[in-house]
Homo-oligomer: A and B are copies of this chain.
Amino acid sequence: MLQLDTQLLQPRMPQSTTTAVMIIGGAEDKIHGRLILQTFFQRAGGGDARIAIIPSASREPAVIGSRYHDIFEEMGAKAIEVLDIRERSHGEDSTWQSFVEDCTGVFMTGGDQLRLYELLSDTPIMERVRMRAQLGEITLAGTSAGAAVMGQQMIAGGGSGESPNRSLVDMTTGLGIIPELVVDQHFHNRNRMARLLSAVAAHTDRLGVGIDEDTCAMFEGNGSFQVIGKGTVTVVDPGAVSYTNYATAGSTDPISLHNLRVHILSHGDRYDLNKREIVSPGR
């Protein structure tokens, strides 16, 4: 969506103003107001929604798949399919491929982001999901592990309770839906600032985005996102960093990182990813 060649995009279809890529920090409300899940449902077409659920991050994909299935069914989706991909060959399943071709929304659940990446990366199904999301044809949401995979660089795991350092975070490759992001989730809830800082020090050409639980960074076709939900979205922008010792630091040495720009955003706030600035405060 955001790094897409606009020449490719424009002849195909105008960017929809309703579809979105929704990056959810995990533990979104599934019982009461369901603000984030309702927003996904509406952005996927509401009563006309045809929703694919990808539960592959989880080691209990049937359980978690059916939980989201029931939620979207109760909301009134027209069609729901759980793409229970448990091995890479399932990523070529023709029934699921054709569902993805016609769907209006895709929801990736939580679990383990490495598992999700290993099962889905470069499969025909995931390639179509990515392409259609980037073209603005569908609404794609990912929560927790499903959020972590959104960037080209992915946080696979890490720790807390230490000074920022190289060994505090394990970096690997993500699905590259919005390539310029390094996403962290359950963010302030699990005290992940030091690990996100460590990740950003390793990739100063990217943008760190830490998303709290029951909170969503909702990216729209215009390259901006707005914050929805109960917590904050923390943006760590290394665009103006003047110095880091990352390249020379030992694996547990503390990291220097000078001149970061940091924003703490809450419900309603908007951020422009291309200009790297706040569009407007929420209220």
Chain A interface residues (CB < 8 Å from chain B): 160-164, 188-191, 193-194, 197, 201, 212, 215, 230-232, 236, 242-243, 245, 248, 253-267, 269, 278, 281-283
Contacts and interface: CB of A to CB of B under 8 A. Distances in A.
B258 A265 contact: yes
Nearest to A214: B163
Contact of A188 (B194, B261, B265): B194
A260 B261 contact: yes
Contacts of A281: 243, 245, 256, 258
Contacts of A190: 161
Given A191-B191, A194-B193, A230 B254 contact: yes
Contact of A254 (B194, B257, B267): B267
Nearest to A191: B191
A232 B255 contact: yes
Contact of A263 (B236, B258, B264, B265): B258
Contacts of A257: 263-264
A246 B65 CA distance: 39
A135 to B, nearest CB: 31
A188 to B, nearest CB: 5
A35 to B, nearest CB: 14
**A161, A193, A212, A215 — which one has the most chain B CB atoms within 10 A of its CB?**
A193
Contacts of A188: 161-164, 193-194
B245 A283 contact: yes
A279 to B, nearest CB: 10
